[in-house]
Amino acid sequence: MAEPKVENSTSPVGESKIRIDAREKVTGAAIYADDIQFGNSLLHARIKRSPHPHALIKKINSEKALALPGVKAIVTGQDFPGYIGLYLKDRFFFCRDRVRYVGDPVAGVVAVSEEIAEKALGLIEVEYEILEPVLDPEYGARPEAPLLHPDLGKYAVASFIFPQPGTNISNHFKIRKGDVNGAWEKCTAIVEHKYRIPHIQHVPIEPHIAIAKVDEAGEITLWGSSQSPFAQRNLIAQSLGISPGKMRVIAPYVGGGFGCKAGVSMESLAVAIAMKVKGRPVKLLLTREEEFFTAFVRQGLTAYFKMGCDENGRLLAMENTFYWDGGAYTEYGVNITRAAGYSSSGPYEVPNVKTDSYCVYTNHPVGGAMRGFGMPEIHAGLEQCIDELALRIGMDAVEFRKLNCLKTGSTLVTGSRMHATGLSQCIEKTAEAIGWGKKAPPSAPNKRRGKGMALMWKAPAMPPNAGSSAWVELAEDGTLNVGVGGQEIGQGVFTVAAQMAAAALGVAYESVRIAAPIDTRYSPYEWQTVASRLTWSMGNAIVNAAKDARKQILDIVAEAWDETPDDLNIVNGVVISYKSEKEIPLKNLVIYGLPKPGDQGWRGGPIIGRGSFMPTYVTGLDAETGQGERAVVHYTTGAQAVELEVDLDTGRIEIIKGVSTFDIGKAINPELVEAQMEGGFVQGMSSALFESLQLKDGVLRNPSFVDYRIATSSDIPKDLQSYIVEVPQDDGPWGARGIGEHSMVPTIPAIANAIYDAVGVRLEGPPFTAEKVYLAMLDAGIVK
């Protein structure tokens, strides 16, 4: 694979040409089930789940299960009446009155072994009254649909979420910019399309797992594979009606997350069960089958797009309607709906926009955060419409995008102004690298070759006041320990954290260690490891903490040498003076300080720096128009292009080449940026070509890797190129923005546009399987 191309850049924190495993930068052993010596005290839990997509619970009889030797306790919804949820508190730990999807937790069993707990599940008798399910979000949004959450109007909800009580709409986000109706008559060309995006699963290598223990004093400790230890502490404590100070969450390395381990899912069940067996740790592990439909899934989407331009190709109007299949509970999905709304124009300046983005309750698995947070779904259709609109007026698709894309100072769909961006450069570099306008011959007579491009933008979808904090502490030998609350999930954030701390303080990267695992009792606060925000937000906190320690050190030395701090610097762990040319290693002063002359005491002492960061400038948006001064902290923008071949005999698609270019502000670690670009491309390709949760009557038909196909190494194109554009973010550390999710966003439409270029067919939505492509070619008369 090609090396990443970095325009006018060296890493601000050192030339990092060798990717360093983040595990090498961590102190402390990773705490996990097999590493903790619970011995015979460890109990095992299993969950009794609903077999129905929608039903009332009439009766639960657990007497036979309780009588089974080895069973210690059984928990039901009657034991825990509190609601839980991130942006919308709409669910119980265990169902109380009704079940809303196949897999909804009805009861929990804890026993001395997993086998006994599993056997006890079969002895629990549940009587249901079957209700009509809602299995389509468009239908669910209609007044005649069965009401899934009659108490929606009573749920606690974030101020920027707008539920519609008395309906299945848990959030309705609106954009009303300009005069859309008046703009259509001015358009030379108009395109309208409907697209469907299926549910997919994150399929992390490590499934969800949690161990909970409640001591006799009611203090709770939760060990879990989590992207959100602090959010879990807060949300679970709120639901239980206890102080967060009595709830401790320890989160070791996460074996893959992609959003499914954000917020709270099965972890609350482990805590609830552990409260019934105080003093005994309880382990709950999802099976691979359960992982597919009882953990968060990516929401499905039905999207309607209408857009028009003038004779010169200038976009004049867009009208988009999104029906999000939020599933049975939408505590996270409501914010995905909001993010889709304020990003609904795509990375284009459009004077007239109308958007209605609906989050709809259905009786499908629970929708939650997934890499891209709604952006891959809306870009999938939007970027295909952009291609078609360019074709309608006879304009090159790249030139059309260059004309209409956001530039510095552009007016956004929410009415605010675009910050400095290098999106135009991304388009140019991507087009050049893919060989845009040059048609290569296919590899065989029965194949057709095509190229496609798509743009993207994405903001960190988060509350306006999501904060980060950090501390740095120097040891006797001058090495640096850094405390953070952000989680390492394989993206390399601990490596980047160490680089930034080293650069900001003035010490060697090799002397920095990250304090892990994340522990809410000792680690500094971090909102969540989501939204591609850690390099920017946590990075600012780390820099501030390092600067705080640096100031303490320079003040001590300046006083000792009778100089000013401005005369001094810290270079490779040594304080040097540009005035007197004196120097002293940090190891000689950061713990014990420096002696005063004449044996008259000491100055200084142990150095600990602290830092925090929270954006203060994000404003609210009008509930009726979606307009406001500043909706988000920033946008990362970029472009992708693919070259592929379609086999006319089978419909099989082979990706020949992939090109990604993103403006990330500043590449703190170019190697890790490349890894994110490549990984996101492959995951996006997987969702474009293979992935779909096959739901029928509310039941998942393919909950295993036998029937759920994901991309493997054999599917990756041999030619993957990554390019970095750097237009600094004004408030990012060294100008950095995130890149973790963005490289997955434009892949589906880039592939779809390439398929059209190759064989002239478009599909209603992914996955673009060989069968679907072949049948589309057959319908179009391309093959016979």
Give the whole-angstrom CA distance, residue 735 versus residue 113: 52
Instruction: Give the whole-angstrom CA distance, residue 465 versus residue 595.
Output: 44
DSSP per residue, 540-573: HHHHHHHHHHHHHHHHHHHHHHT--GGGEEEETT
Residues in the chain: 784
**Cα 691 from Cα 116, distance rounded (Å):** 35
SS3 state at 359: strand
Picking from 307, 305, 309, the residue whose alpha carbon sits closest to that of residue 318 is 307
* CA–CA dist 531, 741 (Å, integer): 7
DSSP 3-state of 519: strand
On whether the CB atoms of residues 587 and 476 are closer than 8 A, the answer is yes
Element (H, E) at 323: strand 315-327
Q: Is residue 125 annotated as a catalytic residue, yes or no?
A: no
Sign of torsion over alpha carbons 379, 532, 32, 247: negative
| Beta-strand relationship, 98-99 and 315-327 | unpaired
Instruction: Please check whether residue 211 is in contact with residue 281, taking contact to mean a CB–CB distance below 8 angstroms.
Output: yes
Is there a contact between 733 and 668 (Cβ–Cβ < 8 Å)? yes
Q: Residues 6 or more apart from 781 whose CB is under 8 A from it?
A: none
Nearest in space to 148 (alpha carbons), one of 93, 97, 84, 82: 97
Q: How many CA atoms lie within 13 A of 530 on its CB side?
A: 26
β-partners of residue 99 are 55
Q: Which of 267, 488, 674, 741 is catalytic?
A: 741
What is the gyration radius of the CA atoms in the chain, in angstroms? 27
Amino acid at 312: N
CB 376 within 8 A of CB 745: yes
First CA to last CA distance, the chain: 38
Torsion of Cα atoms, 199 then 678 then 440 then 764, to 10°: 10
DSSP 411-431: BPTTS-B--S--HHHHHHHHH
Q: Write the DSSP assignment of 255-301 as a string of letters.
A: S--TTTTSS-STHHHHHHHHTTSTTS-EEEE--HHHHHHTS-BBPEE
Encoded amino acid at 360, one letter: V
Which residues, in sequence order, are bridge partners of residue 288? none
Amino acid at 764: E
Q: How many CA atoms lie within 13 A of 361 on its CB side?
A: 29
Q: What is the rounded CA–CA span in Å between residue 24 and residue 495?
A: 9
Nearest Cα residue to 413 out of 655, 135, 597, 632? 632
Q: Which residues are catalytic?
A: 741
